[in-house]
Chains A and B, each alone.
Chain A
């Protein structure tokens, strides 16, 4: 039986072998792997890209003080972006399950319609939740729009819910019983975090201060957005730091929500404030990427503006 981390290693290895860049988690709080810039920004523009990373994802309202065997404030997603989506993308995905030890001939796999939409990011896509013996183990999405922009090349997004997947592989009925590595359980690594963040998120986070922080990050983001047009050397313009401010706002919104601090009348308006920032940043990124495409690549690798992609072994009929 593989441990939690062995399963992660195997999945990373699998996608690395298929030409994906393997990165470490983004270091700003996000609610889902989709929000990390490696997904949200990279899917924009005509540049092919393949990346895989584990992203710890924070959802303050989902915290259960470490009491609930299946619910977490923070869970780990293994996020894969394949842009453009290869014709055999589902076959590749299924083979990844075989690679982590699931004998698909002995299990029941179903693809059930599940479309994804994020109002705060102005993004949506269509796809499925992948069910293995009645358990949802993966979200599969063909992105259609991001930051309100129709995508030039439709990417496939594969999001493995690692805790659920490994719970199933290890046949344990609580996430806290997962063996992280030999002799170490999930609870040992993460239980204190679940408990303490639940206490903070639900009971102690200072609401007026959170609002002030939200305002500060929003102001910083807006100020940056406003400067782009007049900024001369566009390629130097800090679009990525601008996006960090969006993520800060999004996380603060989730925290305020968990604190029950957002009234009904405010709610829609606050979501719109975050979306405006996300859409604005997405537009700058797309504009900047067009410029990147026009200048020679001066980076040390000199590999050109497109990352060298290994072609994957195809399973398509000839």
Chain B
């Protein structure tokens, strides 16, 4: 039988819908596969081939031993709700073949659906009736629940399930009788496109044909904010193009949810593309309205720009004493001083230090108060307009970068140093007062800050050793994450190089690349196995190394040979010496006994092995590498 469920609600926040659908996809429909769809006002599940009823089943229940007597058997039968005669003897025990009647699927769904629906996890729920009434993301206003032609009867918060849906708020009927086969068609006739893919496609095609520069995030937002999307093109006065493109684009994209239109990449045209929740704008009313709003917004931006220029960034630094960084961590002025000192410590030049001093001053501008996403960018633009050197304005402009692992790092050294200092200060300060990320909670975006530092250190090949910045488990996790998930190294390779001294991350990357390469060579695995063996021997001997190897105690042959090879291997050639080293180590273990009774001799041999291990441990701890011998 066919199944149709529509949860009709008031407008659900667009960004929450995909995760709700993912949960509904797991709905238990007695073997049938749920197909899910949604608009802001409805979550829909459809499925085919549900059974009429669940099959009858037989359950075997073991009873008391026959030897326990009739009384025990009677008690058991009573508990099971059957007569003694229904029970059989099986060997030394009674048993009961209990028949469990199948039930109509419609009844089962009527019982389970309310729980399933109210069990959807949302980031923030509400109630809309009396205290204690059901919670959902927004009020539920209607429910369609059908199995075949029949209504699956249940009730949530006073709303009874039925077979009646609703159309578009303005253009559709408020009562539409639907069934499994007709729902999509009926909704379309009432100006609701049920499929997100179709809405997305419509938005993309129409916006593109109007010249929009598509932005995937915005497309997704608009897909789940409309039931019947249609794109229109609007215009604005070209005089506004004198404002920075960053400001215009932010106003259009983030505040108005418009696509920008470009003549060439990065060059704005005086147009925008808006997506409506109605099919057409025959009288141009929507176009006119949106143009008026955008004009007011651009006017604001121009007003902010002009007002802001009356006080230079340099004169705004002291005002940061009125801007909280974090309640327990004081003001942005204090933060600024710390960042300047950090930039100095990291070897930042005059420009980097100047940029650090000015980096947060834009927080006091009207422009950033209005368009918070533009912090840093506005500072950079203002610095440029106020005659600061290019190196300074660029460093400020880019100092929040990288905003994600896909984003690029700042393009100048001054910018990189400032960006590291700014993020490092966040990390150190929040860790100092113990406000650290837990689980999925990271309100101060410290993971992103740490990840950004790692990305910059590696990609810009900056020389700072990790311990000079911040070396703790949190930071190490971010490094592991970066090399594993972003660069695609294997986890044991990452563990192996991180088990030795970490140093500068660009060096860590070199070592990883080397390790990943030599791992493919035939000599590597046996050698890694030998290193593991050495490690175990040292561990078992509970060994404390001697000051140095006494050459006189070395036996001629394999031991001496190993020593020579060890001695001749320098750090520079270490990477290439794998193939020469391997047979020597093998021969050593073949011929030489380490645990000899002579204590001096034994200690000397252990020292040799220890030093060998130590030399290679500057690259990686090979015992961390998973070899075929470890698999089982």
Contact = CB atoms under 8 A, between A and B. Distances in A.
Q: Which of A105, A134, A260, A263 has the most CB atoms of chain B within a 10 A radius of its CB?
A: A134
Interface stretch (B146-154, B169-177, B441-449): B169-177
B169 to A, nearest CB: 7
A69 B299 contact: yes
10 contacts: A85-B128, A107-B286, A128-B11, A135-B292, A135-B293, A151-B131, A168-B289, A264-B321, A317-B164, A317-B175
A70 B164 contact: no
Contacts of B410: none
B193 to A, nearest CB: 15
Interface residues of B, number: 56
A87 B124 contact: no
Given A87-B139, A106-B283, A134-B258, 19 more contacts: A68-B303, A69-B296, A71-B300, A87-B158, A103-B285, A105-B170, A107-B286, A110-B226, A113-B14, A125-B126, A133-B286, A134-B257, A142-B128, A152-B130, A154-B129, A168-B292, A171-B288, A263-B321, A263-B322
A109 B322 contact: no
Contacts of A151: 131
A287 B327 CA distance: 34
B128 A104 contact: no
A213 interface: no
B296 A173 contact: yes
Nearest to B276: A108
A168 B286 CA distance: 11
A142 B225 contact: no
A263 B331 CA distance: 10
B290 interface: yes
Interface in A145-184: 150-154, 168, 171, 173
B271 to A, nearest CB: 15
Contact of B128 (A106, A152, A154): A154
A88 B128 CA distance: 12
Contacts of A90: 10, 169
Interface in A112-160: 112-113, 115, 125-126, 128, 132-135, 142, 144, 150-154
A134 B169 contact: no
B200 interface: no
A306 to B, nearest CB: 15
B595 interface: no
B402 interface: no
A264 B330 contact: yes
Interface string A198-226: 00000000000000000000000000000
A264 B141 contact: no
Contacts of A260: 322
B309 to A, nearest CB: 16
A310 interface: no
B259 interface: no
B130 A108 contact: no
B244 interface: no
A90 B139 CA distance: 11
User: Which of A84, A112, A268 is most buried by chain B, counting CB atoms within 10 A of its CB?
Assistant: A112
A115 to B, nearest CB: 7
Contacts of A173: 292, 295-296
B400 interface: no
A108 to B, nearest CB: 4
A47 B269 CA distance: 56
A11 to B, nearest CB: 19
Given A134-B256, A171-B292, A317 B124 contact: no
Contacts of B278: 105, 107-108
B141 to A, nearest CB: 6
A9 interface: no
Interface string B1-27: 000000000110110000000000000
Contacts of B288: 133, 171
B324 interface: yes
Interface in B147-193: 158, 164, 166, 169-171, 174-175
B170 A104 contact: yes
B294 interface: yes
A315 interface: yes
Given A70-B299, A84-B130, A142-B128, A110 B330 contact: no
Interface string B388-404: 00000000000000000
B142 interface: yes
Contacts of B289: 107-108, 132-135, 168
Contact of A264 (B142, B166, B324): B324
Contacts of A105: 170-171, 278
Contacts of B327: 268
Nearest to B294: A134
A317 B169 contact: no
A317 B174 contact: yes
Interface string B281-313: 111011011101111100110010000000000
A268 B327 CA distance: 8
B274 A134 contact: yes
Contact of B293 (A134, A144, A265): A134
A144 B293 CA distance: 32
Contact of B129 (A84, A265, A315): A84
B174 A315 contact: yes
Interface in B416-447: none
A110 B13 CA distance: 11
Nearest to B255: A134
A108 B257 CA distance: 13
Given A70-B296, A133-B285, A150-B131, A109 B174 contact: no
B30 interface: no
A190 interface: no
Nearest to B323: A264
B197 to A, nearest CB: 21
B373 to A, nearest CB: 17
Given A134-B256, A150-B131, A115 B124 contact: yes
B256 A126 contact: no
Contact of A108 (B142, B277, B323): B277
A113 B126 CA distance: 13
A107 B285 contact: yes
A21 B557 CA distance: 105
A133 to B, nearest CB: 3
Contacts of A315: 174
A305 to B, nearest CB: 17
B170 A109 contact: yes
A240 interface: no
B127 interface: yes
Nearest to A156: B128
Interface in A89-103: 90-91, 94, 103
Contacts of A168: 289, 292
B379 interface: no
Contacts of A263: 321-322
Contacts of A135: 289, 292-293
Contacts of A87: 139, 141, 158
Contacts of A125: 126
Contact of B126 (A106, A109, A142, A152): A142
Would you list the 10 A-B pairs with minimal beta carbon distance, nearest first?
A133-B289, A113-B13, A111-B11, A108-B276, A134-B290, A264-B324, A134-B293, A317-B175, A135-B293, A106-B285
B348 interface: no
Contacts of A150: 131
A65 B226 CA distance: 39
Contacts of A108: 274, 276-278, 281, 286, 289-290
A153 B133 CA distance: 10
A133 B13 contact: no
B40 interface: yes
A112 B128 CA distance: 18
Interface in A265-318: 265, 267-268, 315, 317
Nearest to B327: A268
Contacts of A265: 330
A128 B14 CA distance: 12
Contacts of A134: 256-258, 274, 289-290, 293-294
